[in-house]
Structures are given as structure tokens and as C-alpha cells.
Structure 1
């Protein structure tokens, strides 16, 4: 059976949920091993990787150099020389790492994939392209495949038989680069689930008139994250990190709630691949209704409080 390496994503030393999703996908392609680039993980975190099937946890302890894509790609190459498939989460940084790794190893690479499977001995991926207007199946014809998968596209499930999660230290051969890490200043992590990883996203647009109180309340009630349209961020009503769209964050939650968002192409390109789309807009001709699974024509100031009240009523029953 093929060996499939998964690049571990961690924040503050804790493994993120999309890593377990990638390990779940890896089990369908072969025997998973986890690759930890950076300072060595705590034993408890390494054990969690075993729960999701990792037979090995390959550690390339490169310290702060892991923040440089060129060196992270080189470290990953050192740890995956014997594997057939490399999976990672499709983030801005990881897309660069995937590209550099592909150039160094001659592997085929696909980013923003929504799934992967083995067909006739080759990896085939599924993804949406052109602002989520086309579904595409891509076959990687090379012997080595690199796939960056979007969060929330695979349901993370523990392995029936946990992996050994044996920690193996990998010697690195990092190249000299023109970049060096001069200093690090940690940015306070936002509360709640990161936007790209959230299973539920509640977004507000121009229809909020700058008041995100109801959007935040509904997002918190549903255990999700707060998103926004480009208009809202351009107006300064909410920070740019919340923007969903082609030049913002691309999200694929199980549930996407668009509040007061017309549904311009820019915005739809960042959320159209969501599982279920609910739209609330006062304009019955808003483009967002063309892709919504459930639409409500009305003022969000009237509709959202009723939805919040009903959810609380059902949960309290």
C-alpha cells in the first residue's frame, strides 16, 4: 500500500481540525504518516495523530525557519522522499510550499482540492474552478502527487485501528535563502474558529449598515465564524480578515448564511462551494438567490432575530 504524508498544521502547539480531516482522507489513499515541520510536538499531540491513523510522526525540527516557505518545502522534501502522495491544507502559505516542493521533486500538484481518490493507480482530485461555476476532476499523471485540500471537505473520523504514531526525527538539509527571520511578534488569535476552517459561516454585507450585532450573535449561536462582503470591509465596518471572496478567504463550510449580501461574482467565488447556502436579502432579485438553497426575502433586522429566537426555542425544548 502507498505511503501518504500529511503536513501537520498547528497553532500554539495544538493540532488543528483540518489536519485530522487530511489524515482521514489519507487513509483512503494509503498508509498515513504525519510530518511535523518545526519544534518537536508534545507527546500528547503526537498521540492524537495516531488516533487518526498516522503510523509515524516525522519531525523536522527547523525552528523559526519553518515560517519561510522555501525552507519549509525543503524540510518537507527531506521527510517525504519515500512517499507517493503528500497532502496538506490549502492555505496561502501551503500553496507556495506545495509549488516549491513540486518543482524540487518533479511531482504533480493540485491545490484547493475538495477530495482525492486513487483511480488506475493515479491520484484524481475534485475541485471547483472559475468562481465555483465548474466542477473539475484532475488526474495527476506523475509518480509523486502533491494535493492541497480545502478545510471542511472531508469528515474527520478516528481510525478503526489507531496508528502507532512513532516519532521519527528527520535530518534536514535546508538551503540558503535570501530571506531570514529577523524577529517574531505573535498576533493575538481571534476568538472562535478561524474563518477558513469554520463549519458554519455567517456573513454580513451592505445590508447590515455596519451593525454586525445580529450577525455575530447568530454565528456564535451556531458555533461558527463571522464573514463579510468586500463592500463591508471597504467601508471599514469590519476588518479585512473577515472578507469572503476571490481576493479574501475562500470558505467551504457545511452551512453558509449570507445576511444582506447581494451576491456579486467576487463574493460568490469565495463561498459558492459551501454545503448549504442560506440567503437573507431585502431585494428579491439579488444574485445571491440564484445559488442559495434557501432564501428569505426580507430585512435581516426582522428575519435574523426570529431565526435566533426559534433556534434557542428548539434547543431549549
Structure 2
């Protein structure tokens, strides 16, 4: 059976939803092993093992979680070689895409990013040219390397906790590699991470600096708050909330667009959402072309009404 290597750039005390999705997808493709970039406590390792993973690969020179893409790519390349993996699965962040590209060059293998569906013969479905086209493609050379969008594959229920065997592999970190010298914790909002959220309420130029109604609706729905580049560039919300071609790509079950025109750069980051609801005063706004439901109106009137009704019904 094919060996599937899943790369987990561990950053938490327990498995994130996107990590569980990758492990679940890997389990449908073959025998799963894991490459772990950083240190992890026993509870995390037991969680990995609960998905049938029997081996975890780690660098013998210490964690590579404090180095940027070059060091992680070097480690992951060795993990593929040692494990004999025929398939490599990664997340879909900008960093993961660059790591995948570097590993592809090292292994002379094909890479497919932004995967939202996968057939049994490893034919992947993805969006190209800023979402203008949906294409099907397969890797025909070397190891199949895929970066997978979150919220596109179901995370199956974990089994009983089980500690996988840890295998240390030698890794030569490039001497000129960039390193992380400090971290600043992001303020805790109580909302889910944008890339993993099942519900996202996003605002653009139309919010005019006031994200309050969007935050209220997101909290009522248990969702996250996102934004267009225009809103982040204006300083109305942090850049980590940006969705689009130059921001994050998301695939929630429900995406509510408020005051966003829906230019192609923004569509590229959210058009794989299962249900899209658009709110805009301009009836000719491009966002209505891809919306499942559209409301022509003032977001400062529509959103508070929606929030009140949701809370009234206890949804």
C-alpha cells in the first residue's frame, strides 16, 4: 500500500481541525506517517496516533519550527526519502505552498496547490488564474505533492489515543537559513482561526472602518471575521484577516460578504465556499455573480437585523 506522509507544522497543544482533515484524507489514500516540525507533548502525539499513525519523523538536530521555509523543506525532503512516501500532504498556507515547491524541486516531483477535491486515481480539483477556472490535474512525475485547502475534506472521528513510534532523521539545515527570533502572541478573540472556520463574515470598503456589526454576527454564528485587502490596507483590521489572492484562501460552509465589491482578487480567496451570501448597496456589484443569496441593502441595517433574529432563535 502507498505510504502517505502528512506534514504537521505543530503549533498547538492538540491537533487543529485542518490537521485532523489532512490525517483523515491521508488515511483514505494509504498508510499514514507524519513529519513533525517542532516539539510536541504526549497528548498531541497520542492524538496523532489515534488516526492510525504508527511513525512520526522528527529532525535529529532539534526542532525546525524556528526556521523558515528552507530549513523545513530540507527536513521534509529527508522525511519523504526515509519513509518512502509516494504521496505528501501539506496545509494550504503561503508558507506550506512554498515548502511544497522547494520539496518538489529537491525531489524532482510535481506539486499541486489549492486542492479542494481528490479522486481515487489522485486527480485533483483546484482553482486557477485567480479563480477564473476550475481545473482537474494529476502529478505524473515523482512523488505526488499536494497542498490541501481546509474545510474541503471531512475529519473523521479519531480512534483511541496511541503513541506512535518516533524516528529521528538527520537534517542539514542550510547555514544561511532565515530564523524566527521572536514571537508575539495574537490577542485571543475567542473566534475560530480564519482558515479553519466553518462560518466567515467578511467586510470590505463598505464597512467604512466599523467592523462592529460583522463581529456581532460572527459571534452569534460562532464564526470568524475576515476582510478584503481594501479594509486591511486602510488599517481597519489586522492584515491576518485578509482574504483573497494576496491574502488567505478559505472554504467555509457559509461565507457572508458585507460591503465587498467582489473583484477577482477577492473571489480567488473565497469562491470555493459552500454557501455565499452577499450584502451590498450596489446591485451591479460583481459579488452577486457568484453569490448563492444576495441582499441589496445597507449592511449596517441588514447585519444587526440578522444578528438579532439569530440570537432570538438561539441558532
Q: Which structure 2 residues correspond to residues 8-47 of structure 1 after superposition, within 5 A? A: 8-39=8-39, 41-47=40-46
Q: Which structure 2 residues correspond to residues 94-243 of structure 1 after superposition, within 5 A? A: 94-119=96-121, 123-158=122-157, 165-181=163-179, 183-188=181-186, 190-191=188-189, 192-243=191-242
- Cα deviations by residue, 1:189-210 (Å, 9 ceiling, x for unpaired): 5532222222211011222221
CA distance 1:6–1:309, shift in 2 (3 Å): same
Task: Please tell me the root mean square deviation across aligned C-alpha atoms, in Å.
Answer: 2.0
8 Å CA contact 1:64, 1:181 repeated in 2: no
Instruction: Tell me, in whole angstroms, the C-alpha distance in 2 between the residues paired with 1:209 and 1:176.
Output: 46
- Cα deviations by residue, 1:158-196 (Å, 9 ceiling, x for unpaired): 25x668552222222214331253722333355322222
Q: Which runs of 5+ in 2 are unaligned?
A: none
8 Å CA contact 1:249, 1:270 repeated in 2: yes
8 Å CA contact 2:86, 2:143 repeated in 1: yes
Q: Which structure 2 residues correspond to residues 229-268 of structure 1 after superposition, within 5 A? A: 229-268=228-267
Instruction: Tell me, in whole angstroms, the C-alpha distance in 1 between the residues paired with 2:218 and 2:61.
Output: 38
Q: How many angstroms does 1:211 deviate by?
A: 0.9
Q: How many angstroms does 1:20 deviate by?
A: 0.6
CA distance 1:153–1:166, shift in 2 (3 Å): same
Q: Secondary structure at the match of 2:29?
A: coil
CA distance 1:61–1:196, shift in 2 (3 Å): farther
Among 69, 85, 88, which residue is 1:86 paired with? Answer: 88
Q: How many angstroms does 1:143 deviate by?
A: 3.8
- Cα deviations by residue, 1:32-88 (Å, 9 ceiling, x for unpaired): 11211122x211111111222323222335445332212211211222221111101
Calculate the TM-score normalised by the size of structure 1. Answer: 0.91
How many residues align structurally? 311
Q: How many angstroms does 1:19 deviate by?
A: 0.8
Q: Which runs of 5+ in 1 are unaligned?
A: none
Instruction: Tell me, in whole angstroms, the C-alpha distance in 2 between the residues paired with 1:226 and 1:273.
Output: 17
Counterpart of 1:72? 72
Calculate the TM-score normalised by the size of structure 2. Answer: 0.92
8 Å CA contact 1:8, 1:15 repeated in 2: no
8 Å CA contact 2:202, 2:228 repeated in 1: yes
Instruction: Tell me, in whole angstroms, the C-alpha distance in 2 between the residues paired with 1:172 and 1:90.
Output: 26
CA distance 1:153–1:21, shift in 2 (3 Å): same
Q: How many angstroms does 1:239 deviate by?
A: 2.1
- Cα deviations by residue, 1:240-283 (Å, 9 ceiling, x for unpaired): 22121111222111111001112122211211111110011112
Q: Secondary structure at the match of 1:136?
A: strand
Runs of 4+ in 1 over 4 A off after TM superposition: 161-165
Instruction: Tell me, in whole angstroms, the C-alpha distance in 2 between the residues paired with 1:62 and 1:180.
Output: 16
8 Å CA contact 2:14, 2:47 repeated in 1: no
Instruction: Tell me, in whole angstroms, the C-alpha distance in 2 between the residues paired with 1:189 and 1:125.
Output: 37
Task: State which drifts further: 234-243 or 176-185.
Answer: 176-185
8 Å CA contact 2:55, 2:167 repeated in 1: no
Instruction: Tell me, in whole angstroms, the C-alpha distance in 2 between the residues paired with 1:302 and 1:204.
Output: 14
